[in-house]
Amino acid sequence: MRIFKRRWKSKTAGKIDESGKYSLTWHDAYNRLNHTWPAYRDKATSESFGRYLETLSRQRSVGQVLAGDLSQWVDSLPQVTIAKLVKLHLLDRSRASSCQPLNEHIEHYRQWRLDRHRHQLDTGTILTRIKMTCKVAEFNSWADVQLGGTEALEAAITKIQSKAGISDRTRNRYGQAMHGFAAWMVKCRRANHNPLTGWERSREPETEHRRALNPEEASRLIAAADAGEMMVGRTNKGRWHYRKTGAEMPGGVRWVLTGPTRALLYRVAVETSLRRGALERLTVGDIDLKERCVTAKGVAGTKNPRKIVIPLKNQTVHMLRQHLQDRLPTAPAFDMPSWCETAKMLKADLETARRQWIKEGQTPKEKARRAQCDFLAAIDCEGRRVDFHALRVTCSSWLDQAGVSASIAKRVTGHRSTNTLQKHYQRASQSETRRAVESLPDIDLIPFAATGTDDRTDTAGELTAKLTAFARDDTGQDETECEADRDNKPKTHFQCGWQDSNLRPSVPETGALSN
CATH 1.20.140.10 fits 215-431, yes or no: no
- Report d(CA 362, CA 110) in Å as an integer: 60
For range 22-29, the mean pLDDT: 89
Contact 29, 61 (CB under 8 A): yes
Cβ(65)–Cβ(91) under 8 Å? Answer: no
pTM for this entry: 0.63
Q: What is the pLDDT of residues 471-505, one digit of tens each?
A: 666 555 444 444 445 455 444 443 444 444 444 44
Q: How far apart are CA 82 and CA 91, in angstroms?
A: 8
CA pseudo-torsion sign 336, 340, 344, 350: positive
Phi/psi for 234 (5° steps) reads: -115, 160
Q: Which long-range contacts (CB under 8 A, 24 or more apart) does 278-282 make?
A: 278/302, 278/304, 279/333, 279/334, 279/336, 280/332, 280/334, 280/336, 282/332, 282/333, 282/334
Residues 75-102 have pLDDT tens digits of: 777 778 887 888 888 887 766 676 678 8
pLDDT tens string 28-83? 888 888 889 889 899 999 999 989 889 888 888 888 777 778 877 877 777 788 87
Q: Give the closest residue to 414 by CA, choosing from 314, 248, 297, 497.
A: 297
| Domain coordinates in residue numbering, the chain | 2-91, 102-187, 215-431
Q: How many CB atoms lie within 10 A of CB 421?
A: 20
From 319-328, 356-365, 366-375, 414-423, the region with the lowest mean pLDDT:
414-423
Asked whether the beta carbons of 50 and 1 are under 8 A apart, the reply is: yes
CB 145 within 8 A of CB 91: no
For residue 347, pLDDT beyond 80: yes
CB 283 within 8 A of CB 345: no
Burial classification of residue 322, based on how many CB atoms lie within 10 Å of its CB (0-12 exposed, 13-18 middle, 19 or more buried):
exposed
Q: How many CB atoms lie within 10 A of CB 496?
A: 9
Q: Mean pLDDT over residues 133-153, rounded?
A: 89
| H-run or E-run covering 33 | strand 33-38
The answer to whether residues 457 and 450 touch, using CB atoms and an 8 Å cutoff, is yes
User: Measured between alpha carbons, how far is 462 from 489 in angstroms, rounded to an integer?
Assistant: 40
Residue 34, classed as helix, strand or coil, is: strand
Among 331, 225, 307, 330, smallest CA distance to 269 is for: 225
Banded model confidence at residue 268, pLDDT cuts 50, 70, 90: very high
Report percent pLDDT > 70 for the chain.
Answer: 84
